[in-house]
Amino acid sequence: MPAGPTTPSTPARRFFPQLEGMRAVAALGVLTTHVAFQTGAVGLPVLGPILGRLDLAVALFFALSGFLLWRPWVASAHGWSNGHRVARAPHPPIRRYLRHRVVRIWPAYLVVVVVVLTLLPEAQGADATVWLANLTLTQVFVPLSLTAGLTQMWSLSVEVAFYLLLPLLGLVLFALRGRSVAARIPVLLALGAVSLSWGWIAEFLPTPDGVEPTNWVVGHLPWFVAGLILAEVAGADELGSATRFTRVVAAIGSRRRSMLVVFVIAYGLACTPIAGPTGLGVLAPWQFAVKMALGAICGFALLAPLICSDGTRGIGARFSDRPFPVLTSPPMLALGRWSYGIFIWHVAVLAVVFGLFGIVPFTGHTAVVWLITAILSIGIAAASYAFVEEPSRDRLRRRESRHREELRRQEESGRDESRRREAARAVRSHRESAGDGESDDGGPGATATSAEETTLATATNAGS
């Protein structure tokens, strides 16, 4: 991580290309665990639990979201607004944030929901409740609405719930700024720790059959908190407000080999029964807590070296001048851009692959099914990005650009009007001071008139 403050369009807008590559890793991890489950590979000794526990790729997605979306709030807490340090920085614009989240998620998502519920045989016949729950991403709250081809969307429902929760959390912690900014990380750690008790709390909730409260955002907060804490650490360092604690965390996080060891240990433990069964098995409350904690550690360990180090060391650096050369390679960056499409389409594609190639689910052929599913999902995701996702974001950017231009024009018009009023006041003041004298031969009255015309002309030209 760079020492000291960077040029302050950071930390809110700094781009991390290596995180784009890590999105690809997360998307392919989710795809792999679903293929492994539906081909029966999760039942294999040793390899089965490893493949099955790739569901922790969702933890990586959540940590990424937490890190990236929390950075504007960190910048404001440290007194930065629009790249400048100010006495009391305002919080990030919430309406703009929500607009961007809607445009990022819903256009491509609506396409896949309509296609799956209309065309996928296993999902046809869905009633209005299933349609409404899926279109609004409220499946985790509506009984039996996670339908074939869209079962992975429970995690997207959790993600969207976090989008709504984040501004509330940001406003609550907004008081911890300036001299109190160091208290933000302990508060976030406490939030993550308290949420580990959700498995026990969920047992006492009066939820209807078919609704699993452990699939709600509260239970998965530790995975998001891993990213929030990294955003706090990175922001403190980038903006010159590092404390001893954030410097220690950044130093530890920058050690790639150490973080790899932490990840391997945490992931290995997650593959054992202490984190519960893989697939659709029911977790005891203590197993759910262990899984959430280990998932948070895995997410932190994978992301910390990408955020806290410059990526110029390691084996890959010997063959490339780019930081993190594997994750920032063109193929990985492309897969990262398409990662959302891969995620939302791959389960439907997997269902089609079984029928199209005559493969019976849970009977093996894992490698073949994975390869076909990956190729088709990547192709569809690329099309989704090119024809749905990016055009939607472009339209929003153009709309916001026009709005900013209109505001600029209104501001300039207001300044022009202010100049004209000041000029008019100056003319009236000049008339009063010149008295009532008039002259037909260039006397004092003519001089006053000339001065008035000059003042008005100057004001008019200034506004042109």
Rounded CA separation 350/415 (Å) = 61
Q: Kindly state whether residues 66 and 185 are assigned to the same domain.
A: yes
Rounded CA separation 123/138 (Å) = 17
Q: Kindly state whether residues 415 and 455 are assigned to the same domain.
A: yes
Q: Kindly state whether residues 376 and 242 are assigned to the same domain.
A: yes
Picking from 239, 208, 216, 174, the residue whose alpha carbon sits closest to that of residue 8 is: 239
Rounded CA separation 147/116 (Å) = 9
Q: Return the pLDDT at 321.
A: 66
Which residue type is seen at 60? L
Q: Which residues of 343-380 are buried (b: 16+ CB within 10 A; e: fewer)?
A: bbbbbbbbbbbbeeeebeeeeebbeebbebbbebbbeb
pLDDT for residue 448 is more than 90:
no
Q: Kindly state whether residues 417 and 454 are assigned to the same domain.
A: yes
Q: What is the mean pLDDT of residues 261-273?
A: 97
pLDDT confidence band for 281 (50 / 70 / 90) = confident
Q: Return the pLDDT at 49.
A: 95
pLDDT for residue 95 is more than 50:
yes
CB count, 10 Å around CB of 429? 11
Domains in the chain: how many in total? 2
Q: Kindly state whether residues 105 and 187 are assigned to the same domain.
A: yes
Q: Return the pLDDT at 158.
A: 97
- Comparing 82 with 21, the larger pLDDT belongs to 21
Picking from 273, 263, 268, 339, the residue whose alpha carbon sits closest to that of residue 306 is: 263
Q: What pTM value is reported for the model? A: 0.84
* Domain-embedded: residue 340: yes
* Domain-embedded: residue 314: yes
Q: 423 is written with which tokens?
A: 């000029």
* Domain-embedded: residue 4: no
Q: Kindly state whether residues 304 and 437 are assigned to the same domain.
A: no
Q: Which residue's structure tokens are 């003042």?
A: 455
* Domain-embedded: residue 255: yes
pLDDT confidence band for 115 (50 / 70 / 90) = very high
Q: In sequence order, which residues have a C-beta less than 8 Å from that of residue 290 and are 6 or more positions away?
A: 269, 270, 274, 275, 276
CA dist 22 to 30, 64, 337, Å? Answer: 13, 9, 10
> Average pLDDT over the chain, rounded to whole?
86
* Domain-embedded: residue 6: no
Q: Kindly state whether residues 311 and 441 are assigned to the same domain.
A: no
Q: 276 is written with which tokens?
A: 């519960």
pLDDT confidence band for 239 (50 / 70 / 90) = confident
Q: Return the pLDDT at 205.
A: 93
Q: Range of 128's domain?
A: 17-396
Please state, for a pLDDT cut of 90, what percent of the chain lies above it. Answer: 65
Q: Kindly state whether residues 211 and 266 are assigned to the same domain.
A: yes
Q: Return the pLDDT at 125.
A: 87
* Domain-embedded: residue 64: yes
Q: Kindly state whether residues 321 and 432 are assigned to the same domain.
A: no
Q: Kindly state whether residues 357 and 445 are assigned to the same domain.
A: no
Q: Return the pLDDT at 10.
A: 47
* Domain-embedded: residue 1: no
Domain end (from 362, 396, 430): 396
pLDDT confidence band for 13 (50 / 70 / 90) = low
Q: What is the mean pLDDT of residues 217-239?
A: 93
Domain end (from 353, 373, 396): 396
Q: Return the pLDDT at 71.
A: 94
Q: Kindly state whether residues 384 and 426 are assigned to the same domain.
A: no
pLDDT digits (tens, 9 = 90+) for 180-223: 778 899 999 999 999 999 999 999 999 998 899 999 999 999 99
- Comparing 419 with 70, the larger pLDDT belongs to 70
* Domain-embedded: residue 282: yes
Q: Kindly state whether residues 385 and 454 are assigned to the same domain.
A: no
